[in-house]
Amino acid sequence: MTREELEHAIRAACDVADEDQVYVFGSQSILGQFPDAPPALRMSAEVDVSPKAHPERVDAIDGALGELSAFHTAFGF
């Protein structure tokens, strides 16, 4: 995953959750501080996010953007 893909996923998650901030955690969170992290650290195609103000909306994000969704099929992450 690239920093640009991470930013795309964050924007999509914010749209789905009707939020303007999310927490990013997990392996791809490294891209926040190190956008050019070595490829070995960017191998995951998953982004773990949780809406900051409404964590209960995480299921909506997973349903709309998660594995086997149209988003995942279109973008590969």
pLDDT in tens, 15-69: 999 999 999 999 999 999 999 999 999 999 899 999 999 999 999 999 999 999 9
> 1, 44 in Cβ contact below 8 A?
yes
Give the pTM. 0.92
Adjacent-strand bridge partners of 19: none
Per-residue model confidence (pLDDT) at position 6:
96
Kind plus residue range of the DSSP H or E element containing 24:
strand 22-25
Domain span at 49: 3-75
**3-34 per-residue burial string, b: 16 or more CB within 10 A, e: under 16:** bebbebbbebbbebbebeebebeeebebbeee
Amino acid 37: pLDDT: 95
In order of 37, 41, 48, 61, the CA distances from 13 in angstroms are 23, 22, 10, 6
Q: Residue 39: its pLDDT value, please?
A: 92
Please count the structural domains in the chain: 1
